[in-house]
Structure 1
Amino acid sequence: MGRDGRVDRRQKNIRYFDYTLLLIVFFLICFGLVMLYSTSAYNGQLRFKDSAYYLKKQLQADALGIAAMAIVSRIDYRVWKNFWMLAYIGAFGLCTLVLFIGDELNGAKRWLNLGFTSFQPSEAAKLAIIVFLATIISKMPKQMGKFSSLVKIIAIVLPMVAVVAIGNLSTAIIILGIAISMVFVASPKYAQFFIAGGTVILFGAIFIMMEAYRAERLRIWLNPEKYEKGYQTLQGLYAIGSGGLFGKGLGGSMQKLGFVPEAQNDMIFSIICEELGLFGAISVILLFVIIIWRFMVIASNAQDLYGALIVTGALAHIAIQVILNIAVVTNTIPNTGISLPFISYGGTSVLFLLAEIGLVLSVSRGIHLEQE
């Protein structure tokens, strides 16, 4: 209140930082470590004579990821505009390299052997495509209403999608989903996306039918009990069904004892359902919903279009991956081999996910709230 009785309109700028997002991410990491140990202890003891084998490796990846998140969150996100082309070319080169010298597992080449550890370039490609597209779109915002601009951007992304799809179709779908989501948010016209979506579905169907094992996945999805490879899906469904409302208790799962193959990876959500029940499953989903909500708050208050697009890309990445993972575990869609963010076992995945969170937090640091 001023001396003359009028309200003082002078305002103070307060720098913002999304501690809610940070807290939820840390909680998910801790929860993921607990569930990982519960899920993998039997398998680790059986294969490596160490029940904490998978836990130790994930702890190392989490530590590196948290360090990366802390560093990236302190760097002005606009700096990455200078590395947009390097990010794309580097990720594309690594994804191409893995096709020639990558380690093969279950019939697919997805990892580069670095000697002391393995590295999955397709995870780096997700982050690279976010930085790459955020830079391009932010330079031509007025042209995003044109259908030709949509076609050009999708055409630029397609080489990355194609080279990743050769060995990892699920990740290629996520990359394409990230691209379409970012263009959708930046475009004032929505009708053109129905055409683009139809085209993507058509080419996706053709791409699936080009390889026998991809077409076989569709048949297994429709009738898992008729195929030997449907065993994992059926055991996962048994785990979900046996959990009931509150589950068998942490560590009480029977399906993880060799019935659900590699339960600590893509199928970990089924063990969550078995041990923590419907209540635990819904709680996990709600945590991801809160993360997406915080992303939306940060994106809508970002200082510029570039920052908003970075957050949108990260939002699309996590949302698509969570939806696809749960859909696969519940046999809503064919098995695609997609991990559950922050919870499934996978060092490269959690490292780049946390780096993405660092980028989002960096954007949140640029928000200035006005307080009277």
Structure 2
Amino acid sequence: MKKIRKVDLWILIPYLLLLGIGVVMVYSASFYNAMSTGGSSNQYLIKQSIYAILGLFFCFVFFMLKERVLKNKGLLGLVMAILVILPLSALILIGKFHPSSKINGASAWIPIGPFNYQPLEMAKIALILYLALVLTNKESKLLDKQSVGTIWREIQVPIVTVLIVIFLVLFQPDFGGAAILGLITLILVSSSSIPGRFIATLNTSLIVFFSAVVAFIVKVQPASIAKTYQFQRFMAMLHPFKLEQTAGNQLVNSFYAISNGGLFGVGLGNSIQKRGYLPEPHTDFILAIISEELGLMGDLVVLGLLALIVMRIILMGIRTKDTYHSLVYYGVAVMLMAQTVLNVGGLLGLIPLTGVTLPFISYGGSSLLILSAAMGIVMNLEATEIFNKQEQR
């Protein structure tokens, strides 16, 4: 109970508010489509409410965990193998031998009874905890190493493990998910004790490589790539209205929803674009529905709450003197920020649509449960640190 008194309200309150907004907006965005397909208007409301309650439970459980459990390397290895690598490998096989199982061109979910498990979401938090632990344990050795070769020998096992996970996600194919995992890895490696020269070389090489790949694809447009769902999304970003009847349809209707909303919106439940124009408006495009119904002010409230959580976690990372805590904080902050940027940038047409959901708001169990667990972990580490400092006085 003493630990609960040290919970960070700057994270807990925005988190609770986002959960509530998410439940309301999932219902508002989904009830028309649910009824039009012969289902109950409340079906997504009920599921999202269950996810929210389970999310609170996950948050509490991970808040109360002993830090040594989070830092158990054997347990993390089992999680990576059983809940991340094996399911991701299975999804690739399912997509190859049962192409009809793909949704929007990708195999990303494993059905478990009435629910779907998305290994990518588990991969995010497992990757953060794994890298934070390994890089912290190797801190003293990395500080002593100077050459690129000796540094690489120290970190090659964790980096190769991470690359395996990223490539498995990429082969689903899920470029948004792979981008988030890659960014988390880069930030954690850059924030560790690895010398700056190695980091600069690594980051520059990656930027040059990916820039060259994108330039090649756009200029040459290989036939094998040009036919893919993901490439069509990329072209839709460049020419949304030209492709309005095909790949640009979702993006154009997102623009209409944002335009209709104006400053204060047309009122909760009154969106036009959710009535058959925007497919799955309660998932990827839920912010567009918020914009239409609650206006720019509604968007600013949601994004402001997300920004508050991210900035608070980053501040915690800057203030702490514990390397492990700092890396976990930065990893969770990057996860939240990357998902938000990819979601908002996609519906605004600034980047290709990636299918990444808006944290705490979009419909979905795997994402909400993992994000809730992440909130529990960061509040846990901060409360533990405060408690330990007080005990030492």
TM-score with structure 2 length normalisation?
0.84
* Residue equivalent to 1:223: 239
What whole-Å deviation, never above 9, does each CA across 1:10-34 have from its counterpart, x for those lacking one?
A: xxxx984212201110000001111
Q: Secondary structure of 1:113's partner?
A: strand
* Residue equivalent to 1:113: 111
Residues 34, 43 of structure 2: 8 Å contact kept: yes
Residues 87, 131 of structure 1: 8 Å contact kept: no
1:211 aligns with 2:225: yes
Instruction: For 1:260 and 1:267, locate their aligned partners in 2 and report how far apart those are by CA, in whole Å.
Output: 8
* Residue equivalent to 2:359: 341
* Residue equivalent to 1:5: none
Instruction: For 2:115 and 2:147, locate their aligned partners in 1 and report how far apart those are by CA, in whole Å.
Output: 45
1:250 aligns with 2:272: no
What RMSD in Å do the two structures reach over aligned CA positions?
2.4
**More displaced stretch, 39-48 vs 227-236:** 39-48
Taking structure 1 as reference, are residues 299 and 146 closer, same or farther at Cα in structure 2, changes over 3 Å only?
farther
1:100 aligns with 2:98: no
Instruction: For 1:201 and 1:194, locate their aligned partners in 2 and report how far apart those are by CA, in whole Å.
Output: 11
Amino acid at match of 2:161: I
TM-score with structure 1 length normalisation?
0.89
Amino acid at match of 2:241: E
1:24 aligns with 2:14: yes
Taking structure 1 as reference, are residues 206 and 57 closer, same or farther at Cα in structure 2, changes over 3 Å only?
farther
**More displaced stretch, 152-161 vs 28-37:** 152-161
Q: Secondary structure of 1:335's partner?
A: coil
Instruction: For 1:130 and 1:353, locate their aligned partners in 2 and report how far apart those are by CA, in whole Å.
Output: 12
Amino acid at match of 1:136: V
Residues 130, 178 of structure 1: 8 Å contact kept: yes
* Gapped regions of structure 1 (runs ≥ 5): 1-13
* Residue equivalent to 2:98: none
**More displaced stretch, 185-194 vs 86-95:** 185-194
What whole-Å deviation, never above 9, does each CA across 1:290-348 have from its counterpart, x for those lacking one?
A: 00121023223446211211111111100000011000000001111110000001111
* Residue equivalent to 1:240: 258
Instruction: For 2:238 and 2:217, locate their aligned partners in 1 and report how far apart those are by CA, in whole Å.
Output: 19
Instruction: For 2:238 and 2:301, locate their aligned partners in 1 and report how far apart those are by CA, in whole Å.
Output: 29
Taking structure 1 as reference, are residues 206 and 128 closer, same or farther at Cα in structure 2, changes over 3 Å only?
farther
* Residue equivalent to 2:200: 191
The one of 171, 178, 198 aligned to 2:177 = 171
1:321 aligns with 2:339: yes
Q: Secondary structure of 2:102's partner?
A: strand
Figure out how many residues of one structure are paired with residues of the other and give that number.
359
Amino acid at match of 1:42: Y
Taking structure 1 as reference, are residues 86 and 49 closer, same or farther at Cα in structure 2, changes over 3 Å only?
closer
What whole-Å deviation, never above 9, does each CA across 1:32-59 have from its counterpart, x for those lacking one?
A: 1111111111011112431111111111
**More displaced stretch, 100-109 vs 115-124:** 100-109
Q: Secondary structure of 2:247's partner?
A: helix
Residues 220, 229 of structure 1: 8 Å contact kept: yes
1:123 aligns with 2:121: yes
Residue 239 of structure 1, CA deviation = 0.6
Taking structure 1 as reference, are residues 205 and 111 closer, same or farther at Cα in structure 2, changes over 3 Å only?
farther
Instruction: For 1:94 and 1:220, locate their aligned partners in 2 and report how far apart those are by CA, in whole Å.
Output: 31
Residue 200 of structure 1, CA deviation = 4.5
Q: Secondary structure of 2:248's partner?
A: helix
